[in-house]
Structure 1
Amino acid sequence: MTKVVRLGIIGLGNMGKGHLRYLMNQEVKGVEVTAVSDNAEAGREWAKENLSATVRIFSDPIALMDSGTVDGILIATPHYSHPELAIAGFERGLHVLLEKPAGVHTKHVREMNDAAGRAGKGLQFSMMYNQRTNPLYRKLRDLISSGELGEVKRTNWIITNWYRPQGYYDSGTWRATWEGEGGGVLINQDPHQLDLWQWTIGMMPTRVRAFCYFGKHRNIEVEDDVTAFVEYENGATGVFVTTTGEAPGTNRLEISGDRGKIVIEDGKLTFWRLRVPESEFNATFEGNFGEPECWKCDIPIRGDYPDHKGITQNWVNAILHGEELIAPGEEGIKGLMLSNAMLLSTWTDNWVDLPIDEELFYSHLQKQIQQSEAKKGVAQS
């Protein structure tokens, strides 16, 4: 086993450069950037000016993969290309670290997951779900998985602090278009929250009813305001509200369970803990208006938040030492399925069962793309 992972970075947009900065500062151990690729000349010029002369620069990502200079690739390109580049990597025996989202539609992402499965367990495939390293959400997941909160009854996430002015959308013809990005707030701003929503509680909804508004607050063709209602197999329900058009925005996650309620807001986790489970109180209390005794507990959050470099270090450690992945790549389909379901529910004006009808979603997406105002061309994420 090699002692150093030779890494190729595909895509030198904002995210690709961001990853390069901490990697070139040697903030991740056991990895060396040996190659980069970008199909835009400006990106390659940036690489020449800012990277070591030993780093090979390619215009074609496939040429990078075939160069023999890398053991793994970090993909930070536009959304549509994520699955196809990951599949190409698996076919060449390369480890893959993929920026969010996993793709635009689950049909393509499922093909990617199948390719990862064929490649075998020897290759490490991870999503760049850096929010999974946030100790706030790790503590929430622990409180739920340990049974401290009891059975989940309701989830509610208001995530409206994604404010974006019109100038943001006007900065590129590919932005906020079906052809260029494949969606709006759900696929651009919310992939982390959609992933955390299911990851922290440990279950996916069984069906979704959503109302997406397209170009409601901005002159764009994709969704910029969404309210979704979901149902879970155990009878729990949930609401997800998001937009890029409100100021000031809110980021509040509230989860109610049989033993109380947990709220994450303003970087704090508060647990309103019932002294006895609500179900037990209800079965034994004989009065008319009583309720369980409740304690407000400010839960201390300990631990570092390594963010993007934490996921990258974990992926490298998985390659070199067999460490368990924090964000297995195959799980990227879950959050994407939630956003696909919300759009499909709006397009069909109906409930959508999960797992979704992938062919139906794909056909609706193609209709949107045919009408898209995006100009042909290539953009970097």
Structure 2
Amino acid sequence: MNQVRIGIVGMGNMGWGHAKYLTEGKVKGAVLTAVSDLFESKRRQAKETFGEGLATFESAEELFASGLVDAVLVATPHYDHPECAILAFRHGLHVLVEKPAGVYTKQVRLMNEAAAASGKVFSIMYNQRTNPIYMKLRDLIASGELGEIRRTNWIITNWYRSQSYYNSGGWRATWAGEGGGVLINQDPHQLDLWQWTIGMMPTRVRAFCHFGKYRDIEVEDDVTAYVEYANGATGVFVTTTGEAPGTNRFEVTGDRGKIVIEDGKLTFWRLRVSEPEFNATYTGGFGQPECWKCDIPIHGTSPEHMGITQNFVDAILNGAPLIAPGEEGIKGLTLSNAMHLSTWTDNWVDLPIDEELYYELLQERIRASTFKKPEASGDKVLSVGGTFNS
């Protein structure tokens, strides 16, 4: 194989964006051959925009069985990512799934198992992993420059969304339509980067989610979470869609200093000797380790979505290592599920979470949701071909 034929499932905002750069030839070794969407208007628009040679299908299963694609890019509503991916694996296709991996870890675990059994390439659209600033942070931590992690703190409150935004679609910010709020819609990249850059997951979580605090919505729009790690380190994650102006500041402290990412800059306050060494040898009463402020140069630009898609294609054609293996999508989702579960039970949540309890409590909220999910003819879910985010 010297070219990968790609099909896109779901022609909403994200699916449309992926189709655009694929048809413009911006991913070497890839060609867009087919798309699927439940809505005829979307299929017609795709042909008009990307050419009559593009095959269109009403359902994902029809696309998968067509023989026209080697790989699929899943850009359906959140709930449907795992089911659609599992169906694609059963048809022997490689899969690149949009973030988040799903809504609850129970379904994502099944997707991961299907991927492993298929032997196909499986990736997730964590495009922020291609951002040089987060790549540099990960490198500094992995190389030992920061020493042992002691504290993480991410304030990500620049997700401002008005009531008008939420009113633009009845599925938005509902348990039945999206499966969550700021954690599942806006924050998947940060939740992934939080654990990916430092190289470890928490052991337990205590969170306080506020549902409809600033807007007339069902789901969380304000969250403060505290986590603990196996080595004794702690972390805080603060996020909301209701503040203006917002902040995006990621701070990681180790025993050799502190790194802060803010306003597109990475600053390393580096200790000349580690804090434990200074503490063990210093005898002068008041004092602290000598500290150097280092503005770390960041080289290159982020290829974003195209970069992940190119890597996915390279993995299929040449066996290139994946930047964002699909199986890792469950990690960030575990964090958001744990934050919900901690709030719902008003208690600490140990990781791995109780997946059955989370599923049960989520179903209660789905049944009470104001949004009633439309049914595809004969299908139990909208997922295999549909879009909400038109």
TM range (shorter): over 0.9
Matches within 5 A, 1:3-14: 3-14=2-13
* 2:227 is equivalent to residue 230 of structure 1: yes
SS in 2 for 1:155: strand
Deviation (angstroms), 1:40:
1.3
**Which residue in the other structure is 1:100 paired with?**
99
Distance of 1:299 and 1:79 partners within structure 2: 37
Aligned: 1:167 with 2:175: no
How many angstroms does 1:375 deviate by?
2.8
Post-superposition shift, 1:287?
2.3
**Secondary structure of residue in 1 paired with 2:99:** coil
Instruction: Supply the AA of the counterpart residue of 2:340.
Output: L
1:202 — aligned with what?
A: 199
Q: 1:179 aligns with which of 155, 162, 176?
A: 176
Q: 1:220 and 1:45 mapped to 2: Cα distance?
A: 33
Partner of residue 254, structure 1? 251
**Conserved in 2, the CA contact under 8 Å of 1:173 and 1:375?**
no
Matched, 1:278 2:279: no
Deviation at 1:376, TM superposition (A): 2.8
CA-CA distance at 1:354 after TM superposition: 0.3
Alignment match, 1:51: 50
SS of structure 2 residue aligned to 1:178: coil
Secondary structure class of the residue paired with 2:339: helix
Q: Distance in 1 between matches of 2:138 and 2:345?
A: 33
Using the TM superposition, give the Cα deviation of residue 53 of structure 1 relative to its aligned residue in structure 2, in angstroms. 1.6
- Conserved 8 A contact 1:12-1:380: no
Runs of 4+ in 1 over 6 A off after TM superposition: none
1:88-134: CA deviation from partner (whole Å, max 9, x where unpaired): 011111000000000000000000001111112xx110000000000
**Matched pairs, number:** 378
Partner residue, 2:388: 380
Q: Tell me by how many angstroms 1:78 deviates.
A: 0.1
1:39, distance to aligned residue in structure 2 (A): 0.7
**Structure-to-structure mapping, 1:76-225, within 5 angstroms:** 76-120=75-119, 123-225=120-222
TM-score when scaled to structure 2? Answer: 0.96
* Greater alpha carbon shift after TM alignment, 36-45 vs 295-304: 36-45
Q: Is it true that 1:39 corresponds to 2:38 in the alignment?
A: yes
The correspondence for 1:327, drawn from 309, 315, 324, is 324
| Partner residue of 2:265 out of 259, 264, 268 | 268
Q: CA RMSD in A?
A: 0.7
Q: Is the 8 A contact 1:38 1:59 kept in 2?
A: yes
Query: Structure 2 stretches of 5 or more lacking a match?
Result: 375-381
Query: Residue 306 of structure 1: CA displacement?
Result: 0.3
SS at structure 2 position matched to 1:269: strand
1:45 shift after superposition: 1.9
Secondary structure, counterpart of 1:296 in structure 2: strand
State which of 340, 344, 349 in structure 1 corresponds to 2:341. 344
User: What is the percentage of aligned positions where both structures have the same residue?
Assistant: 71
Q: Partners in 1 of 2:265 and 2:204 — Cα distance? A: 30
